Amino acid sequence: MTSQPGPHRARQPRPGRRIVIVGGGTAGWMTAAALSRFCDTDWSITLVESDAIGTVGVGEATIPMIRNFNAALGIDEAEFIAATNGTYKLGIEFVGWGAPDSRYLHAFGLVGRGLGLLPFQHYWLRARAEGLAGPIGDYVLNAVACRENRFAHVERQAGSPLPPLPFAYHFDAGLYAAYLRRYAEARGVVRVEGRIDRVETQGETGHVAAVRLENGQSVAGDLFVDCSGFRGLLIAETLRTGWTDWSHWLPCDRAIAVPCEPGEPWLPYTRATAREAGWQWRIPLQNRLGNGHVFCSTHIDEDAARDVLLASLDGAPTAEPRLLRFTTGMRRQAWNRNVVAIGLSSGFLEPLESTSIHLIQTGIDRLLDYLPVSGFGAADRENFNRRAAWEMERIRDFIILHYHANGREGQPFWDALRHMAIPDTLAEKLAMFRAGGKVVRDHDELFDVPGWVQVMLGQGIEPQAWHPLADQLSREQLGQFLDTVRHAYARDVARMPDHQDYVSRLAEQG
């Protein structure tokens, strides 16, 4: 996306430029906000949603790219934090995944810092073997800040050897959607309330022509964005676009979510705790803790899963638990005919690495990149779908890694996952890391080398060697290098304020 001022005049579409968004969850309103920002008044943008159906609304944890989305929309951070009960997020703590009593952080940002050719983990692996290194988290700025519960916007001088402090947010997804609704309506998006009970298609092309509401109103369009959630009202129910099922790798198929009273302090990270047949999330907002238990219904029934969740909350529940059912996988074509699926209608990976809202964002980016000018070119569509699938498959591999490389021996759910056949793309990454500490990834992959390194080490994958060039430092140079990094990060974090104080002050300004 490039930044341009959005129009504030009434929208009067030129032929072929009526966009209809079906659904007003996080996906629908993010799409509406972005289109209203970047499409001038030659385009009309209508969003249809049904209050009676409601939204999933439990997406609360994000990754740093969300800041690009907010910045592209020109959203003020203090106002956003105040409006969504937001807090900062520096990473995810995984509890009990490597072994039942283990914990590690997948923190955003660099592991260590650069020294010549090699990624830091090679120096650290050698230093650890020689008794010179502490835990890997001592060399990750965000992990040190998580441990100390501190946060600040870190400004660096140009050329500083120290990295920035990358961050994301925890927020109330329902409030975020409401905020974006105000934003989009102020820029001419028309909201239509009502339940769609019929979809009209054109005989010859099979394109969607209009959606018809229960009250008889018809909303016609040229391009339809399906943000209708898991059911995929247009992409699946109308166009019968197939689904690639990944539940043999990611067998969790239910989640129970419940908010509870806010914990003190507000931690600047999400926690994901492994349970007997799934895992539990803990997401700190200003006014509540978001909690949920993601589980596999062939290993634990819904009542037992609810009990596990309710027995391990850090505060009293503030609402009734909600059950959500899903199948992990991906729509075979995210763009079919004149329908583009964004959000849950396009696919679902469980929220272990907080990637769903990010996938909404990249879906919107692609939609803007490929916005059809005249007609719908097959080449555009194929390319769009290939990119969407490639992106999701790489994220899928990263999530499978957490399950596959588990150390929870003797628990049937976890034993089965440890022994399952994994995608070749992931098997190759694991083999290369095990053999020589290398992480090989394509540049467009979402998760970077530090992410893979932290998760692989955290899950107990031990490289047998490091890169031979790491041996070129003397033992003394190596020790000094690691000490410099560790002390620099500890000093940096000691100067940061407490996370909760920082957020409270910022929210008052918003």
406 binds ligand FAD (CB under 6 A): no
What's 40-58 look like in SS3?
CCCCEEEEEECCCCCCCCC
- Burial bucket for residue 9 (CB in 10 Å: 0-12, 13-18, 19+): exposed
Among 150, 140, 164, residue whose Cα is nearest residue 269: 150
Within 8 A by CB and 6+ apart from 157, the residues are none
Contacts of residue 290, defined as CB under 8 A and 6 or more positions apart, other chains included, come to 58, 60, 61, 170, 257, 259, 281, 282, 283, 284
Determine whether 89 is an active site residue.
Answer: yes
Residue 472 tokens read as: 């070129």
User: Of 34-42, 140-148, 349-357, 402-410, which segment contacts ligand FAD by CB under 6 A?
Assistant: 349-357
- Closest to ligand FAD by CB, 49 or 222: 49
CB 395 within 8 A of CB 355: yes
Identify the active-site residue in 11, 17, 37, 89: 89
Is 56 among the residues that bind ligand FAD (CB under 6 A)?
yes
* Residues 250-289 interacting with ligand FAD (rule: CB under 6 A): 255, 257
Q: Considering only 149-157, 199-207, 350-358, 399-407, which stretch makes contact with ligand FAD by CB under 6 A? A: 350-358
CA distance 371 to 82: 33
- Which residue, 95 or 488, is less far from ligand FAD as judged by CB? 95
Query: Which of positions 295-324 make contact with ligand FAD (CB under 6 A)?
Result: 324
Which of 196, 250, 300, 392 binds ligand FAD (CB under 6 A)? It is 196
Q: How many residues bind ligand FAD (CB under 6 A)?
A: 39
Q: Based on the number of CB atoms within 10 Å of its own CB, is 92 exposed (0-12), middle (13-18) or buried (19 or more)? A: buried
Tell whether residue 165 is a contact of ligand FAD (CB under 6 A): no
Residue 495 to residues 65, 90, 449, Cα–Cα distance (Å): 26, 17, 28
Per CB under 6 A, does 24 bind ligand FAD? yes
Interface with ligand FAD, residue 20, by CB under 6 A: no
The candidate with the shortest Cα–Cα distance to 505, out of 3, 78, 15, is 78
Q: Which stretch binds ligand FAD (CB under 6 A): 221-229, 236-244, 478-486, 495-503?
A: 221-229
Binding window for ligand FAD (CB under 6 A); candidates: 71-79, 356-364, 420-428, 486-494: 356-364
Asked if residue 454 binds ligand FAD (CB under 6 A), the reply is: no
Start-end of H helices in 251-319: 302-310
Residues serving a catalytic function are 89
Site residues, ligand FAD (CB under 6 A): 23-28, 48-50, 53-62, 173, 195-196, 227-229, 233, 255, 257, 292, 324, 326, 343-345, 351, 354, 356-357, 360
